[in-house]
Amino acid sequence: MKATLKLSGMHCTTCSVLIDTVLEELDGVHRAKTSYAKQLVEVEYDDTKVNLKTMAQVIKNEGYDVQSS
């Protein structure tokens, strides 16, 4: 599956790298690509292993806000 999450709270491109890293550490996330400029993250994942709520919580734990788009 693919999903796009709208983010806020990123201050630089390093923030986007951090978000990609924490998402890709989750079992079931195949790829995460965060755009600092667009304030979005596109995620490819296996919905039998991980869900949007879990991914959003991981991002929030790093200090960013998340909305489904």
Return the domain boundaries, the chain. Answer: 2-68
Q: Which helix (H) or strand (E) holds 49?
A: none
* Nearest-angstrom CA–CA distance, 12 and 31: 20
Q: Say what the pTM is.
A: 0.93
Q: Tell which CATH classification among 3.40.50.300, 2.60.40.1250, 3.30.43.10, 3.30.70.100 matches the domain 2-68.
A: 3.30.70.100
> pLDDT tens, position by position, for the chain (69 residues)?
999 999 999 999 999 999 999 999 999 999 999 999 999 999 999 999 999 999 999 999 999 999 855
Task: List beta partners, residue 42.
Answer: 4, 33
**Cα distances (Å, whole numbers) of residue 8 to 14, 37, 55, 66:** 14, 11, 15, 7
